[in-house]
Structure 1
Amino acid sequence: MLAPLLLTLRVAAVDTTTSLIKSFMLEAADGAPLPGYEPGAHLQIEIPASAGGVPQWRSYSLINLDASVDPRDGVPAYRLGIRLEDDGRGGSRHMHALEVGATLNARAPVNHFPLAAPPRVLLIAGGIGITPMASMAAELAAQQRDYELHLSGRTRDALPYVEELRKLAGERLVLHADDDAATRLSIDALLDDAQVNQPIYVCGPAGMIDAVLASARKRGWHECDLHYELFTEATPQEGDTAFEVELKSSGKLLTVPADKSLLDTLIENGTDVMYDCRSGYCGLCTVQVASGEIDHRDTYLSDADKASGKVMQVCVSRCKSGRVVLDL
């Protein structure tokens, strides 16, 4: 696998979008045009190491709200929208503290959430989940394809980019606020009015994504028509225990604590592992397993892959046999 292109970016502008969301315009530090991207793509930003730690990478969706712009052709700047997460791992706090002129290391855009070809699309976003959906809406508008865009949040004031979205989507944009009974999002009602197997794209909190997927599956949607993206990292589950991981190439033995992922343990001990989503759906952190019983928690591997026991997603999956030997 080729190493991703590394970019040095400069913060060109910072705007407060809502009380919790800031928007960032990022230019190339040398002023050159930036690599293009497709709707749904995201950028990985390097977050400096905290005391005693190692640098981490965080993924943020790229925003385009202008149907006249095709970002595939390259862009003068990348636009990100980032919500402050007080209980997160520090990425959003670092980003929210940045000022104009600051520089960042980034990996060139990648896309695990591509927009497919069918003519009528249902876009559902929760809060900051609007960021990839905005680019999809711009693409659909440019192609004059039929779509609906539903944006939901706890309050009307918490919904980002509303005026720009109205300009882009017009009557195709439907706003929902949890504190308003008249506009509160009802997933069941929304899907009751939709056409079965109409392509659905959803991005937002895990609970909302799970509810949309469950409701669609109950109504007979095919899996190929259900598309989602979740940047929320996996959290420890009740009953998780520590286990050992042996690196086959060196024989090095590490202990993975109950409250820490295998990926983080590998990174903190100097093992170079590719990763992106940290949620078990992109497949970038697939690692060969030499031995050990795996507790698969990803949505990327097929049932056959999981049954083989020969591969695992180290960002979310764990070991059930006390020790796993990885081909690293």
Structure 2
Amino acid sequence: MLAPMLLTLRVAAIDALTPLIKTFTLEAADGTLLPGFEPGAHLQVEIPSATGGAPQWRSYSLIHTDTGAHPRDGVPTYRLGVRREDEGCGGSRHMHALEAGAMLNVRAPVNHFPLAAPPRVLLIAGGIGITPIVSMAAALVAQQRDFELHFSGRTRDALPFVDELRALAGERLALHADDDPATRLSVDSLLDDAQVNQPIYVCGPAGMIDAVLAAARKRGWHDCDLHYELFTEAAPQEGDAAFEVELRSSGERLIVPADKSLLDTLIEHGADVMYDCRSGYCGLCSTRVCSGDIEHRDTYLSDADKAGGKVMQVCVSRCKGGRLVLDI
């Protein structure tokens, strides 16, 4: 798989929407149009290492609200929404420290969360997971397609883009706040009132996505009508242990600590691995396994692929035994 085009863009504007969320408007230094994209797409932004090691890449969804122009034809600017995560890996803290005029290296848009073309769509977003959903709502309005948009957060004041969403969706927008019993999102009630196999697009915290998917499947939804994108990276699990990985091409042996992903270990040691979502659903980091017992934690591979034991998603999956040999 070819790597996306690399662009160097200038931060044209930064706006604070809530105490934790800022938007970043990026433009080409020479004012040329930027590569187009479809709703649901995101950019990867290069984040310098705080320890002087290899830079990391973090993914942020592209926000598009112009119903009069399709972003696939190219856009003058990109707009990103970033929530500061003080306990995260540092990408959001770096973004929130930027000032207008800063230069960023980004990879051109890619899309693992495309909007299909059914007649009626149910959009569900939690917190900063609204960012790809905004672009989907704009596209549905432009196409005169019916939809509902349910947007949930811990408090009403924590919800960004509300004015823009109201302008786009009108009465099709429902706001939910966890601290308000009158508006708190009830997944069961929402799906009880929906049509089975009505296409669902959901983005936000893993717990919310899991709840929506489980409730929909229980009611008979087919997986082909359930579309989601995670905004959290996989975290270490209780019982995780260190293991050894050998790179077949060089014979180099690395130790993957219990609290670190295989992907991060490979990157730190200079291995050339493509990756994007860091959550096990996009497939970009698929890596051939020569030997070893894989503990699969992704949602990308089929059951047959997992049973075959010849490929793994190195962003989330680990080793059940003590050693893996990778075809790298």
Q: Secondary structure at the match of 1:190?
A: helix
Q: State the TM-score, normalized to the length of structure 2.
A: 0.99
Gaps of 5+ in 2: none
CA distance, structure 1, for counterparts of residue 20 and residue 229 of structure 2: 21
Find the counterpart in structure 1 of residue 137 from structure 2: 137
* C-alpha contact (below 8 Å) 2:129/2:231 kept by paired residues: no
CA distance, structure 2, for counterparts of residue 69 and residue 238 of structure 1: 48
Q: How much does 1:30 deviate?
A: 2.6
The question of 1:71 aligning with 2:71 is answered yes
Find the counterpart in structure 1 of residue 256 from structure 2: 256
Q: How much does 1:158 deviate?
A: 0.6
* C-alpha contact (below 8 Å) 2:203/2:231 kept by paired residues: no
Find the counterpart in structure 1 of residue 199 from structure 2: 199
CA distance, structure 2, for counterparts of residue 225 and residue 51 of structure 1: 43
Find the counterpart in structure 2 of residue 154 from structure 1: 154
Q: Secondary structure at the match of 2:276?
A: coil
Give the 4+ runs in structure 1 shifted more than 4 A: none
Aligned CA RMSD, in angstroms, stands at 0.7
- Percent of residue pairs identical: 81
Find the counterpart in structure 1 of residue 81 from structure 2: 81
* C-alpha contact (below 8 Å) 1:288/1:326 kept by paired residues: yes
Q: Secondary structure at the match of 2:37?
A: coil
Paired residues for 1:107-118 under 5 Å: 107-118=107-118
Q: Secondary structure at the match of 2:130?
A: helix
Q: How much does 1:69 deviate?
A: 2.1
Aligned residues: 328
Find the counterpart in structure 2 of residue 4 from structure 1: 4
Q: How much does 1:68 deviate?
A: 1.2
Q: State the TM-score, normalized to the length of structure 1.
A: 0.99
Q: How much does 1:2 deviate?
A: 1.6
Find the counterpart in structure 1 of residue 44 from structure 2: 44
- Name the amino acid aligned to 1:299: T
Paired residues for 1:225-240 under 5 Å: 225-240=225-240
* C-alpha contact (below 8 Å) 1:29/1:103 kept by paired residues: no
- Name the amino acid aligned to 1:317: S
Deviation per CA, 1:189-231, whole angstroms, max 9, x where unpaired?
0000000000000001111111111111111110001110013
* C-alpha contact (below 8 Å) 1:231/1:278 kept by paired residues: no
Gaps of 5+ in 1: none
Q: How much does 1:4 deviate?
A: 1.4
- Name the amino acid aligned to 2:136: M
- Name the amino acid aligned to 1:164: E
Find the counterpart in structure 2 of residue 290 from structure 1: 290
Find the counterpart in structure 1 of residue 186 from structure 2: 186
Q: How much does 1:266 deviate?
A: 0.3
CA distance, structure 2, for counterparts of residue 198 and residue 18 of structure 1: 32
* C-alpha contact (below 8 Å) 1:10/1:104 kept by paired residues: yes
Q: Secondary structure at the match of 1:58?
A: strand
Q: Secondary structure at the match of 1:32?
A: coil
Q: How much does 1:52 deviate?
A: 3.6
- Name the amino acid aligned to 1:173: L
Q: Secondary structure at the match of 2:249?
A: coil
Q: How much does 1:28 deviate?
A: 1.1
Q: How much does 1:32 deviate?
A: 1.4
Q: How much does 1:29 deviate?
A: 2.3
